[in-house]
């Protein structure tokens, strides 16, 4: 946990219109004062993010939703009550004063109450909303460690707070600005969790702009190939006969025997939670090692598996 002095300093940095990277339970956020247009412009510039792509506004627990949204439907209240603080973003109709820089010009705003102790402490010290998209350059793999953030942004980010991201992939986004809530991006709050609460399985995908839903988001330099566990061995043998450098992400309680091969074992997650947790750091590791190809074993697509497959699919499509 950060010291009170570090958190207080980070809040001062935010008030001065500068950027603070901080850990959340999903991935690292790159934070700016959500009410300060010039701080928001600085945030978009640092990420290289197009101005029409909205960012999520992070709020402290007990924040007044009516201050940010004109309309909070029953489903949104139920979702917030059940899953906040936590890895869930709600898209709601934005209150008039909410900066249209933060919303990417949309009349809706993405709101989340994170559960990470460092994020909670920062939000409490700052006392307002912190706009914080993932701390990566636009279109690149999200950061899940302070070190990855420092390498990605160097001196452009004034303060980087240390902490671990337990989930490892971005929040579930539920659009509650439409009649039937839709999941715009799957995450650790699963379709099953939402269906249990709302009594109906929500549709996945939507018309609303969400960069996390662009096919080419989350792209490492290596080419990602998604394979089934039973295809893995044959594909390893094929690649062994070429001169590509490649790595493997296995999946399952028993690490798949990889035998004598040129393949580098990049990660061996035993559970879907571990798969999500190590995914982005593993893709970064593959790039650090200069891998041409990563063979990633597909997890089952129920529960958190839907979110892991979503990110793997986008990483694979990115090339």
Q: Using the rule CB under 6 A, is 21 a contact of ligand AMP? A: no
Contact call for residues 302 and 234 (beta carbons, < 8 A): no
CA-closest candidate to residue 272, choices 207, 190, 158: 190
DSSP code of 211? G
Of 103, 134, 145, 172, the one binding Mg ion (CB under 5 A) is 134
Q: Using the rule CB under 6 A, is 210 a contact of ligand AMP? A: yes
Subset of 76-115 contacting ligand AMP (CB under 6 A): 89, 91, 103, 106, 108-110
The interface partner of residue 187, options being Mg ion, ligand AMP, none and the CB cut-off 5 to 8 Å by kind, is none
For residue 114, the minimal CB distance to ligand AMP (Å) is 12
For residue 218, the minimal CB distance to Mg ion (Å) is 8
Of 128, 133, 163, 220, the one binding ligand AMP (CB under 6 A) is 133
Q: Using the rule CB under 6 A, is 143 a contact of ligand AMP? A: no
CA-closest candidate to residue 70, choices 49, 87, 94, 48: 94
The interface partner of residue 163, options being ligand AMP, Mg ion, none and the CB cut-off 5 to 8 Å by kind, is none
Among residues 18 and 134, whose Cβ is nearest to Mg ion?
134
Q: Using the rule CB under 6 A, is 56 a contact of ligand AMP? A: yes
Contact call for residues 125 and 10 (beta carbons, < 8 A): yes
Q: Using the rule CB under 5 A, is 144 a contact of Mg ion? A: no
Among residues 209 and 235, whose Cβ is nearest to ligand AMP?
209
Contact call for residues 299 and 275 (beta carbons, < 8 A): yes
Size of the site for ligand AMP (CB under 6 A): 22
Contact call for residues 239 and 246 (beta carbons, < 8 A): yes
The interface partner of residue 184, options being ligand AMP, Mg ion, none and the CB cut-off 5 to 8 Å by kind, is ligand AMP
Alpha carbon distances (Å) from 296 to 37, 55, 135, 204, 206: 41, 29, 24, 23, 27
What's the 3-state SS for 188-204? CCCHHHHHHHHCCCCEE
The H-assigned helical ranges of 66-179 are 74-83, 117-126, 146-153
Contact call for residues 90 and 80 (beta carbons, < 8 A): yes
**For residues 135 and 143, what is the distance between their CA atoms, to the nearest angstrom?**
6
Among residues 55 and 113, whose Cβ is nearest to Mg ion?
55
Footprint of ligand AMP (CB under 6 A): 53-56, 89, 91, 103, 106, 108-110, 133-134, 170, 173, 184-185, 208-212
Footprint of Mg ion (CB under 5 A): 134
């Amino acid at each position: 946990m950060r010291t009170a002095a570090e958190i207080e300093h980070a809040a001062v940095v935010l008030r001065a219109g500068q950027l603070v990277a901080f850990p959340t339970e999903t991935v690292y956020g790159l934070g700016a004062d959500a009410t300060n247009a010039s701080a928001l412009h600085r945030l978009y510039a640092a990420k290289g993010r197009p101005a029409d792509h909205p960012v999520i506004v992070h709020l402290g627990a007990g924040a007044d939703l009516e201050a940010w949204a004109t309309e909070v439907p029953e489903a949104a209240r139920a979702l917030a009550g059940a899953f906040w603080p936590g890895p869930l973003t709600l898209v709601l109709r934005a209150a008039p004063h909410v900066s249209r820089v933060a919303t990417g010009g949309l009349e809706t705003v993405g709101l989340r109450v994170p559960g990470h102790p460092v994020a909670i402490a920062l939000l409490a010290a700052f006392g307002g909303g912190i706009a914080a998209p993932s701390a990566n350059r636009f279109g690149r793999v999200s950061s899940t460690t302070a070190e990855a953030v420092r390498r990605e942004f160097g001196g452009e980010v004034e303060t980087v707070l240390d902490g671990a991201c337990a989930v490892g992939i971005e929040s579930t986004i539920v659009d509650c600005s439409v009649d039937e809530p839709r999941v715009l991006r799957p995450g650790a709050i699963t379709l099953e969790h939402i269906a249990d609460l709302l009594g109906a399985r929500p549709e996945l995908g939507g018309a609303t702009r969400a960069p996390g839903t662009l096919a080419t988001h989350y792209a490492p330099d290596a080419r990602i190939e998604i394979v089934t566990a039973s295809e893995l061995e044959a594909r390893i043998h094929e690649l062994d006969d070429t001169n590509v450098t490649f790595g493997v992400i296995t999946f399952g309680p028993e690490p798949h025997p990889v035998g004598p091969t040129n393949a580098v074992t990049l990660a061996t997650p035993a559970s879907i939670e571990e798969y999500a947790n190590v995914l982005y750091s593993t893709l970064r590791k593959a790039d650090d090692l200069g891998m041409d190809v990563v063979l990633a074993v597909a997890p089952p697509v129920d529960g958190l598996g839907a979110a892991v497959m979503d990110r793997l699919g986008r990483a694979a499509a990115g090339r």
